[in-house]
Structure 1
Amino acid sequence: MATLGSVVFRTRNLHLLANTLSLAAGVLLVATLIALPLAWLTTRSDVPGRRLVTLLGVLPLAIPGYVMAYVLLAVSGRYGALSLALGVDIPRPGGYVGALLALSLYTFPYMFLNLRAALLGLDVSIEESAQALGLTRRQVFFRIVLPQLKPAWMAGGLLIVLHVLGDFGVVSLMRFKTFSYAIFLQYTGAFDRLYAAWLALMLLAVTATLLLAEAKSLRTTFLARRGPGSALPPARTRLGPWRIPVLSGLALVALWSVVLPLGTLVYWSLRGLSSPGVSVAGALLGSVSASAPAAVLTVVLALPVAYASARLRIRSVQWLERVAWMGYAIPPLALALAVIFMALSLAPGLYQTMFLLVAVYAVHFLAEALGPLRTAFYQANPSVEESARTLGRSRIAAFLASVLPSIRPGLVTATAFIFLSVMKELPLTYLLSPIGFQSLAVNVWSLTNEAQYALAAPHALMIVAVSSLFVGLLLHRESNRNSDSNPDVPA
């Protein structure tokens, strides 16, 4: 125990813990400060161009965190795009501030989507009753609306914190030492790989503690309606004299989260066209060759779990879902190290093979496929399958003939989610890919790490272009869901 205590409670470890938690808390705070006003403006105000503002709240999802870090580094400094355009030497962000900016601009859409969905689903009659009792709009917002947003805030916050805990690309480019960055340095530098394993276990313990705390907090939350009736559509608050300041704030968010990143990528891509570098086509082919089989395998594994969850509802299936979420919650670097140690110990021939890489992708992203598939099964009429069974077909034949066609939208959504998530994945790809394997994500990170911004830009721009499909799919699903649930409420 003395040895264990001396390893765990090193001063350096406590410093890493403080850095990691302070970064997670800072990103959560900044993301909330951006997402909550955006969500309220798109659901409760008469702000012009609500659809455009909604698009603004989702578009940054197309720009991975390490690409956002690349943009902040490439736009600043003596030869940065913004510095050259303004004729002013803009200091290059780094450390805590740089990591905070990059991660906040990348993750706030997770909070925005959750809060916006919650605001659209709130029962406005409760707010109207509170106003009838004499409460002002401000009092209603803080006493009635905000408490009801707690589950949505915690869901979005959990996603953000998990991203920060598992992030490696941003903190490594910004040179801010968190658990993930320290694990990477210890492992790749071959300084002390046993110590890297201890750091991974500590990071996993922090993640598990946060998951348990979130689950315990939600057990005490109950926000369902107790009376009959249906929720009323929300009234729009007139911005009045606040319209100009609000539009200015929205323009500032758009500038930093969308316009500046895209403009920087285009600028450096044009500068890099004449420079010999790593083939974008080869990296794209490598990314697709890993993403496609990983997406298919993940959806195939998720299908029986989602089906059982929606139709059987037995306790063992709930445990399977929790295991799937643990695979997603485990920080990628910690997962990669565990897989490396197991492969080298049990099956050395599997290490750095495409088979192992695709299998680990499936384990990590299984939870992402469960959501769309489970929703699709819930929406599919079970009586159709039962009718097929009564006609003498086996369960598998009935599923293929009657259920599979009806869940096709969920299948497409889940496959697209996994494909694009794998394409953007960095630490698993970097540590587990075969020798000589190229991917867009690894090339962006490695070239940016060497300050080769012009060479990295085309790879980053390709990731953003492909990721835009993911954003479009999200917006399409969200639009369909809103039109189905509130057909009379304008978006």
Structure 2
Amino acid sequence: MPITDHRAARLLRVPERPGEKGKRSAPPAAVLVPAVLVTLTALIPLGFVITMTVATGWEDATYLIFRPRVGELAINTVSLIALTVPLTVLIGIGTAWLVERTNVPGARAWALLLAAPLAVPAYVNSYAWISTIPTLAGVWSGVLISVLSYFPLVYIPAAATLRRLDPALEHSAASLGLGPWSVFFRVVVPQLRLAVVGGALLVSLHLLAEYGAFSMIRFSTFTTAIMGQYQSTFNGAAANMLAGVLVLFCLFLLLTESRGRGTAHYARLGSGVAAAPVPARLGRWRLPAVGALAAVIALALGVPLVNIARWLIAGGAEVWTAGPLAGALVQTLGYGFAGAAVTTVLAFPVAWLAVRHPSRFTRILEGTNYVASSMPGIVVALALVTVTISFVQPIYQSTAVVVAAYVLLFLPRALIPLRAGIAQAPPALEEAARALGKAPPTAFLKVTLRLCAPAAAGGAALVFLGVVNELTATLLLSPSGTWTLATRFWSLSGEIDYAGAAPYALLMVLLSLPVTYLLYTQSQKAAGR
């Protein structure tokens, strides 16, 4: 039986200070100050966009925003999101239902394979498809690559939700005369809303931020256009205005997700435990179901892996020695570990305040970091370029600026697991350690930090995955002569040296696979498996 805070305090005889009951303590300055500084830093990209818009002037800004090129980019972006998101939701829910709620053969193996495409960066997927079908271009090609790259963002939370749903509601609906399809759409689907809406938001934000995948297939989006403007005019007004429009798209998506989430909650009330769901028998649909799962895996995972292998064979042993492969691997690992460590440490004060000192102010601090980190890498990079050149030029194009970009981009990946880990560490245990004579820092390190360590490690792993695959900000901010696996892959694939790029693609996938597996297993644990 789990020990609650009050029971732990009673068992360990923690003395209660007079007047402490019912009074909320003020957050310590050692936590509050770093949390506020982190949040203010996270506002740099938004402040950059606002400042550049004001500096451009109303007349010039109006001209740059309402010109035909921006309209074309907006149509491309809206079309991409409108076509991709429903398809990722359809595939995500459909595959999750097949592996979690039916008797499809090899369900566990399919479950792992369906999460695996998340380890393949979208630009590697684009490289594989463009080397197979060189004529790929335009919006439908973008939709194809995006769906195959991002459907796991819907599949993983949908599968986790299906695992923990109590089938009692479904049984009750069936007993009232509803057929299987009616039960699915009227009972099951509404309970998937939070998972699906959250996954759809992640897919949409990835579509706004993606550069490499769409650049390869010559499909223009705001991110590719901003990069083109930056490379031709170095942070000119046109690029800044496009960045402003892109930020408005991001904020609109966040608002839409918040409204789509609604206020309804689905929870089981009452004694006892939830019944295990009875898998639906597919019958004559069993073979088509296996065929559908195999087709999804073949397109999303088979095509990139087969093409990487094909180019490795074509290049021979020379592709492993022709370029700075070892150096790129070492620098990628260095950036990955540094970004993961710094981001996790800086996320801790924000997560601590959100859990231990909840208030409107701490909710604003936490929410600001989510909003700021939803901005695409190109906007974050442009903001840091401008700030460093204008105010701290000695650190321009330094490792510190690259790591700062990773913190701004990936802070929520560390913040969310840390928040859950701190919530599961009862404050009474730390207070008991103090009562037994431990100094506050020692009590924190030996009790709370140890309990939070698994959550911190999970968050750091997710940040590491993001850093390994990050391309846009690294291209703009990394010091001269720096090569990561992503930037070296991008350079070689841009030269149509597909064989030379293959080792870099393979190493990125191999580095990402363990973290993807960790994400999958965490979702199973959250679902009680």
**Could you state the TM-score of these two structures normalised by the residue count of structure 1?**
0.92
* Match status 1:66 vs 2:98: no
* Match status 1:385 vs 2:430: yes
Partner of 1:274: 318
* Match status 1:473 vs 2:518: yes
Q: Is the CA contact 2:79–2:139 (under 8 Å) kept in the aligned structure 1?
A: no
Partner of 2:42: none
| 454-463 or 244-253, which deviates more | 244-253
Structure 2's unaligned 5+ residue stretches are 1-57
Partner of 2:399: 354
Q: Map 1:188-207; keep pairs closer than 5 Å.
A: 188-190=231-233, 193-207=236-250
Partner of 1:437: 482
Q: Deviations over 1:113-152 (max 9, x none)?
A: 1111221222321111111111111111111211221111
Return the alpha-carbon distance in structure 2 between the equivalents of residues 248 and 458 of structure 1: 31
Give the CA deviation at 1:240. Answer: 0.2
The DSSP-based 3-state class of the residue aligned with 1:256 is: helix
Return the alpha-carbon distance in structure 2 between the equivalents of residues 408 and 116 of structure 1: 26
Which stretches of structure 1, 4 residues or longer, exceed 6 Å deviation after superposition? none
Q: Is the CA contact 1:63–1:464 (under 8 Å) kept in the aligned structure 2?
A: yes
Q: Is the CA contact 2:343–2:410 (under 8 Å) kept in the aligned structure 1?
A: yes
Return the alpha-carbon distance in structure 1 between the equivalents of residues 293 and 256 of structure 2: 34
Give the CA deviation at 1:389. Answer: 2.2
Give the CA deviation at 1:324. Answer: 1.7
The residue identity in structure 2 corresponding to 1:454 is: A
Return the alpha-carbon distance in structure 2 between the equivalents of residues 427 and 18 of structure 1: 22
Give the CA deviation at 1:195. Answer: 0.5
2:99 to 29, 33, 42: 42
2:381 to 336, 345, 367: 336
Give the CA deviation at 1:229. Answer: 5.4
Q: Is the CA contact 1:23–1:96 (under 8 Å) kept in the aligned structure 2?
A: yes
The residue identity in structure 1 corresponding to 2:182 is: Q
* Match status 1:258 vs 2:315: no
Return the alpha-carbon distance in structure 2 between the equivalents of residues 219 and 140 of structure 1: 21
* Match status 1:284 vs 2:329: yes
2:180 to 130, 134, 137: 137
Structure 1's unaligned 5+ residue stretches are 78-91, 487-491
Q: Is the CA contact 2:154–2:196 (under 8 Å) kept in the aligned structure 1?
A: yes
2:499 to 448, 454, 457: 454
Q: Is the CA contact 1:302–1:370 (under 8 Å) kept in the aligned structure 2?
A: yes
Return the alpha-carbon distance in structure 1 between the equivalents of residues 131 and 327 of structure 2: 24
* Match status 1:245 vs 2:288: yes
Q: Is the CA contact 1:35–1:57 (under 8 Å) kept in the aligned structure 2?
A: no
| 206-215 or 427-436, which deviates more | 206-215
Give the CA deviation at 1:312. Answer: 2.2
The residue identity in structure 2 corresponding to 1:305 is: V
Return the alpha-carbon distance in structure 1 between the equivalents of residues 114 and 292 of structure 2: 13
* Match status 1:9 vs 2:52: no
Partner of 2:259: 216
Q: Is the CA contact 1:447–1:456 (under 8 Å) kept in the aligned structure 2?
A: yes
Partner of 1:87: none
Q: Deviations over 1:137-181 (max 9, x none)?
A: 111111121122111110000000000001111111111001000
Return the alpha-carbon distance in structure 2 between the equivalents of residues 341 and 191 of structure 1: 10
Q: Map 1:399-414; keep pairs closer than 5 Å.
A: 399-414=444-459
| 386-395 or 141-150, which deviates more | 386-395
Q: Map 1:358-373; keep pairs closer than 5 Å.
A: 358-373=403-418
Q: Deviations over 1:89-132 (max 9, x none)?
A: xxx31222222122111110010011112212223211111111
The residue identity in structure 1 corresponding to 2:360 is: R
The residue identity in structure 2 corresponding to 1:249 is: A
Q: Is the CA contact 2:99–2:107 (under 8 Å) kept in the aligned structure 1?
A: yes
1:169 to 187, 190, 212: 212
Give the CA deviation at 1:316. Answer: 2.2
Q: Deviations over 1:4-57 (max 9, x none)?
A: 332221111111011011112222122122211111012110111111110121
Return the alpha-carbon distance in structure 1 between the equivalents of residues 410 and 440 of structure 2: 27
Return the alpha-carbon distance in structure 1 between the equivalents of residues 501 and 472 of structure 2: 17
1:124 to 167, 181, 204: 167
| 451-460 or 369-378, which deviates more | 369-378
Count the aligned residue pairs: 470
Q: Deviations over 1:279-310 (max 9, x none)?
A: 21111111112111111111111112222222
Q: Map 1:90-101; keep pairs closer than 5 Å.
A: 92-101=135-144
Distance 1:312 1:52, change over 3 A: same
Give the CA deviation at 1:359. Answer: 1.4
The residue identity in structure 2 corresponding to 1:422 is: V
Return the alpha-carbon distance in structure 2 between the equivalents of residues 158 and 298 of structure 1: 22
Return the alpha-carbon distance in structure 1 between the equivalents of residues 292 and 260 of structure 2: 33
Partner of 2:85: 28
Q: Is the CA contact 1:39–1:115 (under 8 Å) kept in the aligned structure 2?
A: yes
Distance 1:116 1:5, change over 3 A: same
Q: Deviations over 1:42-74 (max 9, x none)?
A: 211011111111012100011010110111012
| 354-363 or 219-228, which deviates more | 219-228
1:397 to 442, 448, 452: 442
RMSD: 1.7
| 115-124 or 178-187, which deviates more | 115-124
Q: Map 1:305-344; keep pairs closer than 5 Å.
A: 305-344=350-389
Q: Is the CA contact 1:327–1:365 (under 8 Å) kept in the aligned structure 2?
A: no
Return the alpha-carbon distance in structure 2 between the equivalents of residues 329 and 151 of structure 1: 18
Return the alpha-carbon distance in structure 2 between the equivalents of residues 225 and 316 of structure 1: 32
Q: Is the CA contact 2:138–2:218 (under 8 Å) kept in the aligned structure 1?
A: yes
Return the alpha-carbon distance in structure 2 between the equivalents of residues 340 and 57 of structure 1: 38
The DSSP-based 3-state class of the residue aligned with 2:151 is: helix
| 62-71 or 222-231, which deviates more | 222-231
Return the alpha-carbon distance in structure 2 between the equivalents of residues 374 and 220 of structure 1: 21
Return the alpha-carbon distance in structure 1 between the equivalents of residues 304 and 60 of structure 2: 47
The residue identity in structure 2 corresponding to 1:449 is: G
Give the CA deviation at 1:444. Answer: 1.4
The residue identity in structure 1 corresponding to 2:318 is: S
The residue identity in structure 2 corresponding to 1:428 is: A
